A and B are shown apart, each in its own frame.
Chain A
Amino acid sequence: MQLTLGPVLYNWQPEQWRDFYFRIAEEAPVDVVVVGEVVCSKRSPFFEAHMPAVIERLAACGKQVVLGSLILVSLPRERRQTAELAANTDFMVEVNDLTCLGALMDRPHAIGPFVNIYNEATATYFASRGAQRICLPPELPMDSIQTIAAALPDVTMEVFAFGRVPLAISARCYHARLHKLSKDNCQFVCERDPDGLPVATLDGEPFLAMNGVQTLSHACVNLLGDAVDLAIAGVGALRLSPQQCDMVAVAKVFRDLLDGRRTQENGMQELTRIYPDVPFVNGFIHGQPGAVLTTKGTEENLRQRKAQAGTMVHEAGQ
């Protein structure tokens, strides 16, 4: 099972952004790193100066670099950027909107979690046009994940396994709106909330997080307890989405669990220590509301499910 570090979704300070990736390159046990601004094209110029150094360092440290494309493309400038990204690189591009598919000319590429691949027919279509990695939409339940992965054993299926879940994208900038600014003159207020701006219900219950034009969950998806099931289901990579916490340590916990060096219980405790104050959820893959944390992931349950899966594999082989 591979680990992928997804793109930074927030508006981090350029130096912080660069240093984050330098440290990931040197220390994080991740196989693939997706780099690039995917949320708001207005932020891209800040990172551009650091991009070559970041990409070079990641590649030099043996990470597969993938370049992420914008989720919502509407301006002519954004179309040009997206087409150029797809046309002028030797690195794999992660398609987050079908805008860049034409420019990719069916070259090998990855598909990000913002393209709607809900079934094996759609996955097969994109695979026929060169998709080699597909990060499935975060709301997909386990049985869909399993069916899609089984239909396309040669494509690396990836699942969003850690981080606040991106739930929606808009042409409207909610950060700017909240600060009574227009999107065109937003003064980049989203930089004040490098882990998203907490949005609570009127009862004061944390609910969502605002990130410019994007809306995320307040809670953090954590599929550590489901990692073994996902591997059995044919998933080839888990995506860890950068938050304001020690992402190197997060990656180590996932790597250790997958390699059998850590128990699930111990790993969960460690993740709680690394990213405190934000609740963990895993509802989506269990076919429940995304905001739910199921208690299914206990050690005993895990053993039972592994045994069941073993039987199923055995029966299928007969």
Chain B
Amino acid sequence: MAFAMSAARAEVLRRIRDALGDERAPAPPPAPAAAAAAPRVADPVARFTQRVGDYRAGVTVVEDASEVGAAVAAALTRHAAADAVVPADLPAGWVPTGIAALADDPPLPHARLAQVGAVVTACALAIAETGTLILDGGVGQGRRAITLLPDVHVCVVGADQIVGTVPEAIARLAGTPRPLTLVSGPSATSDIGFVRVEGVHGPRRLEVVVSRRA
């Protein structure tokens, strides 16, 4: 099969060269000016919280990091989550007291994750314009499966992590080798009669806690 595959590779590349002939793109390709010059957002925190709210996610804004734990606990209580998986390196103050916290260390089996009520994480970045959270598996975020299988995702965002627009976020993430997940509201579908339904396979509830100061 190896030979057949390399023959296919050679032929597809040859077909491309034949198809293009002398019409080659100028190198380097033209810069997408409009994308790069996307306007900055004046008050990113206000815009972000409004836009996250538009997706019908819960949003709580707190003044500083000392209030995050209480806001997380309140979010979990709202959804009657009895337990929550937490990344091993989640800041200690964010781990709610009064509910069972499961560290994903060693990694929990998928079937176990599917039974946990909630997950609490940090994020890498957030986008004000689109109300998007970006997870990159960095500090306080854990691997992708833990934010996927539990039914409630509580995500903590620092105000300094919020950028204005999609191109700004993409620029900040340049060079990351880690898998990225961009989350904009809870899982949703409009496949039946074009009626939007929140919560299909991913977390059915998204709660965002924004901390104005670290």
Partners in one complex: no
Interface residues of B (CB under 8 A from A): none
Interface residues of A (CB under 8 A from B): none
